[in-house]
Amino acid sequence: MSSPSIAENPLLDRQPGPPPFDRIRPEHVQPAVRVLLEETTVGLEKLESNLEGPTAASWSNTIEALESLGRNWERTWAPVSHLMGVKNSEELRQAHDAVLADVVALGLRMRQSKPIYEALAHIRNDDQLWRQLDETQHRIISKRIRDAELAGIALPEEQQERFNKIAERLSQLSSDFSNHVLDATKAWELVLDDPVDVDGLPASLTLLASQSFNDQIDDDTVPGEPDTGPWRFTLDAPSAMPFLQHSRVPRLREQLYRAFVTRASQGKLDNSPLIDEILDLRRERATLLGFNTFAEMSVATKMADVADVESMFELLREASWEAGQSDLEDLQRLATAGGQDRPLCHWDLAFWAERLREERFDLTDEQLRPYFPLQRVLDGLFELAGRLFGITVDPDDGQAPTWHEDVRFFRIRDENGQPAASFYLDPYSRPEDKRGGAWMDECLSRRLVDGQLQLPVAHLVCNGTPPVGDRPSLMTFREVETLFHEFGHGLQHMLTNVDYADASGINGVEWDAVELPSQFMENWCYHRATLMGIARHFETEEPLPEALFENLRRARTYRAGSLMLRQLNFGMLDMYLHHQYDPAGEETVLEAQQRIAARTSPLEPLPENRFLCGFQHIFAGGYAAGYYSYKWAEVLSADAFSAFEDAGLDDEQAVALTGRRFRDTVLASGGGRHPMDVFRDFRGREPSTDALLRHTGLA
Ligand code: ZN
């Protein structure tokens, strides 16, 4: 460790404050991570041998010792992961990939350490030890124990073997499932060469379709042109969705729709046998761990329980059913007026919904952009955060090393003017080295480092339009909402008052509760005074025209009943399959799909529909018995916002008071308290669906 290159390696810099991002190069990654792995292995072995010795297990020789190992990861590995997203390069990717397997293996070894598990279980079972610890410490220990148990650590040997076999088989099945969907998607195409058949399609889609055609022809075939064809449409979302929305030829929409909802349901690529096996094995794994169903196991690490979810579904379904029906009638009327002389079919819905949207809302991104220059939006957002939470946000650019000249740095002070946190904002899209989308990530967590409090630092990453010439960055309304959303995540990370990294900020927060602060912040984009305070034309300084604001507001509730029912269909089916469904029973999964669709679709379900065979969220992603969390998060965030409505949105004092309560409960508690208790602390009761229904016009 004494060679000069190691000593000067910025990834091994352990100074307080943000990492030296400006000095980190791909060649630093491997040597630094090797040191990290070595340090951690030595530290872990020492920790484990301490626990095996005569010394009794304690908070300090378990969790504290683990946290101090974790600190080095924050300084060495976290910056590498971050730069993979915002300053990617071939060299960085190679360096990252070269160490990834070892990093993952060591992480697994730490989480599945038997001596640590036994020590933690000892602490929990020893009344006297347990009583000396506070609620946050209890949560941290219980969560570590639970995660180890869910990984099978406590099973007797024979069962553990079976458990591992199941895990292996399940991972194979989910990768097969996803490959089938991919192959089935690739195997289908719709090639059109008559311009009449593409009449009405947006230029962006015909361009895509023309490219898609040219990409798959032989070198000696004459390539097509976007204007004259041929055009090739596929089942990939960017091709299929706009096609269903805009194709004026019902026969073609039908072809594509039928292909889409029967993906991976036939022949070699048929996913239905995989679905049965997956459900069967998931249930067996849950049973081995002592749960009745897979859904019960899934929600053991979440905020809601199965009964909460089921009652939420039913309340939302009942409230949306009539609206869904009347949405359908609206479309039927429009279709009839537009000359369609037959009842609507499934492949007509997206088409007529788009026509109705065009008729009702004359609203484009380009109309709104001039009113949302980035700097004004930031000023408005920070001003709102001040009103709500009493914090001050000030730019401090140049005071922290960054990875790109466009990256900004801000400091947050609390109500007493004391430093509380800081954050980076990487605002613009940079296709050459930055991942798309938007996210919040931890840079540093709030924690004690050698007895000193380390203040949290966040990364806010967006992909907005960069400034062009002397024209500032102008945001779409969706980008404004996204910035508010990520800032909400950032607030939970930064305004925590928990000092243990395991539970500070977003750490240790149940997965289905994590979107509460972020979606909560989005609500303010529809609050008149807040939005009108922000939106001014970047050249004329004129406020957003009233009609545009009204349009924005109404567009928010457009077809809310239909959209809700669609999400409920997915969520209810997911929960049913993982809780009640019996693979050995009478009803097949596809029959269950039909039965549940009938309760959520005002238009009679298509008997041939096999969408389950392409439902990757739950069979190849992390959403099994968790699809509900999309709705759950909406319920929580709308209900939290309604506390401000109840207090009076235009009553400054009431808003400030409610905001401080939100700060001191939801934003402060981190993972140190169960999210249902945190919600009760803030709202004075359990979550209710009323506010969401009211906001979406379904009350
Ligand atoms: Zn989010």
The 3-state secondary structure of 461-494, one letter per residue:
EEEECCCECCECCECCHHHHHHHHHHHHHHHHHH
Ligand 1 geometric centre to CA of 614 (Å): 25
Dist CA 60 CA 64 (whole Å): 5
> What is the distance in A from the centroid of ligand 1 to the CA of 515?
5
C-alpha atoms less than 13 angstroms from C-alpha of 548 in its C-beta half-sphere: 20
535-559 mean pLDDT: 94
- Residue 93 CB neighbour total at 10 angstroms: 12
d(CA 314, CA 691): 16
Distance from C-alpha of 602 to C-alpha of 321, rounded to nearest angstrom: 7
Nearest CA among 83, 120, 41, 63 for reference residue 447: 63
pLDDT band at 549 (very low <50, low <70, confident <90, very high): very high
422: pLDDT strictly greater than 90: yes
Task: Give the lowest-confidence range in 190-194, 466-470, 487-491, 668-672.
Answer: 466-470
pLDDT above 70 for 2: no
Question: Strand, helix or coil at 514?
Answer: coil
What is the distance between the alpha carbons of residues 581 and 695, in angstroms, rounded to a whole number? 34
Q: How far is the CA of 631 from the centre of ligand 1 (A)?
A: 13
- pLDDT computed for residue 54 by the predictor: 64
- Distance between CA atoms of 476 and 328, rounded to whole angstroms? 30
Q: Which residue has the tokens 């096609």?
A: 243
Cα–Cα distance, 155 to 19 (Å, whole number): 41
15-47 pLDDT, tens digit per residue, is 999 999 999 999 999 999 999 999 999 999 999
pLDDT computed for residue 1 by the predictor:
43
Average pLDDT over all residues of the chain: 95
Res. 149: pLDDT tops 60: yes
Token pair, residue 246, equals: 């805009």
Residue 71 alpha carbon to ligand 1 centre in Å: 25
CA distance 564 to 230: 38
Cα 440 to middle of ligand 1, angstroms:
8
Strands 419-428 and 457-464: parallel
Whole-number Å distance, alpha carbon 243 to ligand 1 midpoint, is 29
Give pLDDT, residue 528.
Answer: 95
The phi-psi region of residue 37 (left if phi > 0; otherwise alpha if psi is between -120 and 50; otherwise beta) is alpha
Q: Which residue has the tokens 């904002």?
A: 425
* Average pLDDT for 522-543: 96
Q: Which residue has the tokens 């750490």?
A: 507
Instruction: Report CA(398)–ligand 1 centroid distance (Å).
Output: 28
Q: Encode pLDDT of 66-90 as tens digits.
A: 999 999 999 999 999 999 999 999 9
Give the domain ranges of the chain: 6-154, 188-262
Q: Could you tell me the distance, in angstroms and rounded to a whole number, from the CA of residue 518 to the centre of ligand 1?
A: 6
Contact yes or no for 438/487 (Cβ under 8 A): no
Expressed in angstroms and rounded, the spacing between residue 517 Cα and the centre of ligand 1 is: 9
Q: 3-class DSSP state for residue 679?
A: helix
Q: Which helix (H) or strand (E) holds 312?
A: helix 306-337
Reading the block at residue 231, the tokens are 């055009």
Q: Is the pLDDT of residue 219 over 90?
A: no
Give the per-residue pLDDT at 7: 77
Q: Domain spanning 6-154: which CATH class is it, in words? A: mainly alpha
In the chain, the N- to C-terminal Cα span, in Å, equals 65
CA of 587 to the centre of ligand 1 (A): 37
User: What is the pLDDT confidence band of residue 419, given thresholds at 50, 70 and 90?
Assistant: very high
pLDDT of 648 > 60? The answer is yes
Element (H or E) spanning 453, and its range?
strand 452-454
Active site residue 168: no
CA of 667 to the centre of ligand 1 (A): 15
Pick the closest to residue 142 from 152, 130, 132 (CA basis). Answer: 130
Spot the catalytic one: 442, 481, 486, 515: 486
User: Please, which pLDDT band fits residue 108 given cuts at 50, 70 and 90?
Assistant: confident
Query: What residues are paired with 267 via a beta bridge?
Result: none
The percentage of the chain sitting over the pLDDT mark of 70, rounded to a whole number, equals 99
- What's the whole-number mean pLDDT along residues 183-192? 95
Residue 217 has pLDDT above 90, yes or no: no
CA distance 305 to 289: 17
Between the CA of 157 and the centroid of ligand 1 the distance, in Å, is 40
pLDDT at 506: 96
Of residues 466, 438, 442, the one with CA closest to residue 456: 442
Distance CA 298, CA 305 (A): 9
Amino acid at residue number 610: R
What is the distance in A from the centroid of ligand 1 to the CA of 143? 22
pLDDT value for 229: 87
pLDDT single digits (tens) 326-340:
999 999 999 999 999
List the structure tokens of 205.
Answer: 């889609």
- Ligand 1 centre distance from Cα of residue 498 (Å): 21
Mean pLDDT, to the nearest integer, of 300-325?
A: 97
Q: Residue 366 C-alpha to ligand 1 middle, in angstroms?
A: 25
What distance in angstroms lies between residue 636's CA and the mean position of ligand 1's atoms? 13
Q: Could you give phi then psi for residue 328, rounded to 5 degrees?
A: -65, -40
| pTM, to two decimals | 0.93
> 509 CA distance to ligand 1 centroid (A)?
13
516 Cα: distance to centroid of ligand 1 (angstroms): 8
Q: What is the mean pLDDT of residues 457-471?
A: 92
How much distance in Å is there from the Cα of 485 to the middle of ligand 1? 6
pLDDT at 365: 85
Q: Is the pLDDT of residue 260 over 60?
A: yes
Tell me the mean pLDDT in the region 443-457: 95
Give me the mean pLDDT over the 677-688 stretch: 98
